[in-house]
Structure 1
Amino acid sequence: MPDAPLTQPLPPEVSPRPSACPGLWRIVAARDGGICRIKLPGGLLLADQADAVADAAERFAGGVIEATNRANLQIRGIGQDHTGLVEHLLAAGLGPRDAAGDDVRNLMLSPLAGLDPAMLFDTRVLAGQILDLLERTPRFHKLSAKFAVQLDGGEALAMREHAHDLWLSAMQRDGSIWLRFGLASSLSNGQALGAVPVEQGLALVRAVLERFLDLATPEQSRMRQLLQICPVEHFLEGLVIPIDTTSMPWQRPATTSPWLGVLPQRQGVALGVAPPLGRLTCAMLRSAARIARQWGDGSLRLTPWQSLVLTSLEPTELENARAQLAASGMLCHNEHPLARIVACTGSSGCAKALADTKADAVTLANLLHQGAPGSVHLSACPRSCAMAHAAPATLLARAPGRYDLYLRDARLPGFGRLRAADLTPEEAGAMLDLPTEHLDD
């Protein structure tokens, strides 16, 4: 049940601490207006809440909604009525009453948590406990708005490349479920530092966060910054919970299941769809909400690939649902060139951007075919806001319509190895429209 409307709403600009990150209560100015970020619990968005977001985007902003790479939503182009927008979203149950508890709700789950056939356990109960811990513990409100936790239940559909300050991943041991954990790394390249029985998962999260806040200075807002000066062994020694550190070497493979099209569930089917370049129109979101309500379980799952999953759809209506979503403008197949491209807001909405990446991405997509790399990232500046890990190929803007091409290299930091400089989108498209193995020629 959504909370009652605010009687005396606080101005969204009043925040527990300064931050450049938008939130529900912190609307950040951009070239195209204000940005409000709605942090969804494990990516879950109920159909009625989706309608409320669409209504808010039309009533208080310019109608532009973005799916983010942390499985959240953003409303862009917000006008002057910040308080009205926040009231509207809170009335739909889309954020906490305490502004201080909004920043820290950074918990990533699989978009098919509780439904994925490969899962070792249903992460949703523990996820709810972790979110409650973050929201209701005043000390944890000191964490950075970027401090992030991932809970992996062994699902096939899982983001394995995003780095997190703390991650937990399920494994089987002697007939029981345990949680391995790592710090300042991703599931695909991190080292498991220890493990606890799944029943101790919440206690482990609390212990790690307490230890971090005990040791970190105000300048060390992320786990990676702390571990640059604090040996990980020293960090682990101070945890107030016993952990098992035997036989910990492990990595989750970087590959994952496709996130568009028909997705298997333990019971029934799901459908993954994506708005082109992460941009949702109000009509797209309302269409997805209507189909989820009519033929699904009444909910949508946002994903870290800037897409949505409609879960528990009636199999007999699957093709009808896909046709209606495609008609609304959604991408429904992995083969579509735009499904393989990520682009930041670009100069149309960001003052720091050096190029109109959204428009250039459309130009690039028209040049790509099936042989292109798995994903291409267009970034209008070195901050790489649109992608939380290095893509196989990155086009970094240097001027309007001009890009440097980087290819991911695990031996190099950042975007990887510079392959070519000062390319137009057309020139980049000619290079990228080759099988990946020929990009080094």
Structure 2
Amino acid sequence: MTEPLSARPPATALRPSACPGLLRIVPALDGGICRIKLPGGVISASQALAVADAAERFAGGVIEATNRGNLQIRGIGADHDGLIRTLLNAGLGPRNPASDDVRNLMLSPAAGVDPQQLFDARPLAEQILLTLENHPRFHELSPKFALSLDAGEGLAMLEHPHDLWLSALNLGGETLLGFGLSGCPAKDFPVAAVPLSAGVELVVAVLELFLEHARPEQTRMRHLLEDLPVPVFLGQVSERLTTPLRTDRAITSWRRTPARVNAHIGFSPQKQSGLMCVGGVVPLGRLTPSTLRDAATLAVELGDGTLTMTPWQSLMLRNVRNERAALALDGLRAAGLLCEADKALSQMIACTGAAACGKGLADTKADALLLAAYLQERGVSPGVHVSGCDRSCAAAHTAPITLLAVSAGHYDLYFRHADQPGFGALRGRDLTIEAVGALLTADSRSNTDD
């Protein structure tokens, strides 16, 4: 049952943080920001309608899809309690109010229905989330401390870094849970593995040890590992488990199969016969209440009554019958979503920028629209991240191409490079959007990936 507003801790009891939550609305130039964390990215149609209504009633009508499969409401006015009460009454809050910050577990948006999955991640994910919510010590974790659970799906975000990542692997006919401490399965090897049955036990051991060892300023796993060698940490984890850690070379040299590119856009067949997922990109991560309502209606009429938000800032309908998939895609397109992977705008992300963020040096959303139109006219659709400052809020991993604002309408241009940290290799300084567009068009045949 959802906690009533009176049951949530007073504002002074919530950990100070710049990260918004459902119970902590943080200020920005355009008003308050409220972040709604969705288990596995899933929100029911009725809950989506409640979000749309709340965005209109208590804010300026701006809803954002985040890069971890959550939703945000921006431009919130003075009635914070009214907004929070509306969302809690819709069942969108945590079971334990003190746990709102730590419900950071990312799944594939196709968890449970993906043809390539090695197991259905949803039951294990629910156990992990319950543990995060009900283990009082875990409420001390930073709001940025994050976990991922990868069951081997073809539709999966594998590049986002996490403090603890879990990834299914099959060795000798047995499905194990490999894991890494800080990083991601796209780039890193597992440090060890456990049987699936030990998944929750492993999470508890890792998080308890992190909190026991980390100093207050060491808020992320990577900070702790600068002082504590991984083998030492693993030795202590092993002592807390009822099953041995596997650290043989078959584990530590395992590589995750790459995910399917652009599988979140358009049609994605499910493992269940006759059904598929249908998805569209939220343009620059911004949803209108009307779009969210239309998508919720489609979910009821053509899907399973739920929407799934993805780490690509897109939206999916699941369990759509094959013969109705085209109708669903047309409906998402009519609602304002981008349903073709070759559209320049569908490959572009941008932070809030100077229009609503005090740290932004340029109006990134407006500039991204200009750049997308320029590239679309020339048939070019690279993956582009437009960032108003070096915090890179819109992208949890390095994009193929990054524009870093240096002043209004001017950007430094970077191409991702495996051997260079940060945004990658600098390709141009202080460029206008037109200059960036010309350079990307001329370079469209070049390889901008790692």
Given candidates 47, 50, 61, the residue that maps to 1:49 is: 47
> 1:141, CA displacement in angstroms?
0.4
> 1:249, CA displacement in angstroms?
1.1
The match for 1:358 is: 365
C-alpha separation between the residues in 1 aligned to 2:189 and 2:175?
19
The match for 2:268 is: 263
Inter-CA distance 94–297: structure 2 relative to 1 (3 Å threshold):
same
The match for 2:102 is: 104
The AA in structure 2 aligned to 1:299 is: T
C-alpha separation between the residues in 1 aligned to 2:227 and 2:310?
34
Which structure 2 residue ranges, 5 or more long, are not aligned?
none
SS in 1 for 2:102: coil
The match for 1:59 is: 57
Contact preservation (8 Å) 2:154, 2:259: no
The AA in structure 1 aligned to 2:256 is: R
Given candidates 66, 69, 87, the residue that maps to 2:67 is: 69
User: Are positions 1:399 and 2:401 aligned together?
Assistant: no
SS in 2 for 1:181: strand
The match for 1:435 is: 444
Q: How does 1:277-426 map to 2 (within 5 A)?
A: 277-369=284-376, 372=380, 374-426=382-434
Given candidates 256, 275, 278, the residue that maps to 1:252 is: 256
> 1:264, CA displacement in angstroms?
1.0
C-alpha separation between the residues in 1 aligned to 2:337 and 2:379?
22
C-alpha separation between the residues in 1 aligned to 2:132 and 2:420?
35
SS in 1 for 2:323: helix
SS in 1 for 2:375: coil
The AA in structure 1 aligned to 2:402 is: T
Give a deviation string over 1:105-124, Cα, whole Å, max 9, x none.
00000000000000000000
> 1:327, CA displacement in angstroms?
1.6
The match for 1:6 is: 5
SS in 2 for 1:112: coil
The AA in structure 2 aligned to 1:88 is: T
Which structure 1 residue ranges, 5 or more long, are not aligned?
none
Contact preservation (8 Å) 2:103, 2:133: yes
The match for 2:162 is: 164
C-alpha separation between the residues in 2 aligned to 1:176 and 1:439?
37
C-alpha separation between the residues in 2 aligned to 1:425 and 1:15?
45
Contact preservation (8 Å) 2:276, 2:322: yes
Q: TM-score, normalised by structure 2?
A: 0.94
> 1:410, CA displacement in angstroms?
1.4
C-alpha separation between the residues in 2 aligned to 1:76 and 1:260?
25
The AA in structure 1 aligned to 2:391 is: R
> 1:371, CA displacement in angstroms?
6.2
C-alpha separation between the residues in 2 aligned to 1:378 and 1:310?
28
The AA in structure 2 aligned to 1:62 is: G
The match for 1:37 is: 35
Q: TM-score, normalised by structure 1?
A: 0.96
SS in 2 for 1:180: strand
The AA in structure 1 aligned to 2:247 is: T
C-alpha separation between the residues in 2 aligned to 1:68 and 1:316?
31
Give a deviation string over 1:83-133, Cα, whole Å, max 9, x none.
111111111111115332000000000000000000000000000000000
The match for 1:126 is: 124
User: Quick check: 239-248 or 414-423, which moved more?
Assistant: 239-248
SS in 2 for 1:211: helix
C-alpha separation between the residues in 1 aligned to 2:168 and 2:382?
27
> 1:438, CA displacement in angstroms?
7.0
The match for 2:114 is: 116
C-alpha separation between the residues in 2 aligned to 1:8 and 1:245?
45
The AA in structure 2 aligned to 1:179 is: L
User: Quick check: 234-243 or 198-207, which moved more?
Assistant: 234-243
Inter-CA distance 82–439: structure 2 relative to 1 (3 Å threshold):
closer
User: Quick check: 410-419 or 399-408, which moved more?
Assistant: 410-419
SS in 2 for 1:320: helix
Percent of residue pairs identical:
55
Inter-CA distance 438–110: structure 2 relative to 1 (3 Å threshold):
closer
Inter-CA distance 373–273: structure 2 relative to 1 (3 Å threshold):
closer
SS in 2 for 1:184: strand
Give a deviation string over 1:288-311, Cα, whole Å, max 9, x none.
110101111111111100001100
> C-alpha root-mean-square deviation of aligned residues, in Å?
1.6
Inter-CA distance 159–378: structure 2 relative to 1 (3 Å threshold):
same
> 1:280, CA displacement in angstroms?
0.2
SS in 1 for 2:51: helix
> 1:314, CA displacement in angstroms?
2.5
SS in 2 for 1:311: strand
The match for 1:17 is: 15
C-alpha separation between the residues in 1 aligned to 2:18 and 2:291?
29
> 1:70, CA displacement in angstroms?
0.7
The match for 1:233 is: 231
C-alpha separation between the residues in 2 aligned to 1:339 and 1:10?
40
SS in 2 for 1:100: helix
User: Quick check: 123-132 or 90-99, which moved more?
Assistant: 90-99
User: Quick check: 72-81 or 93-102, which moved more?
Assistant: 93-102
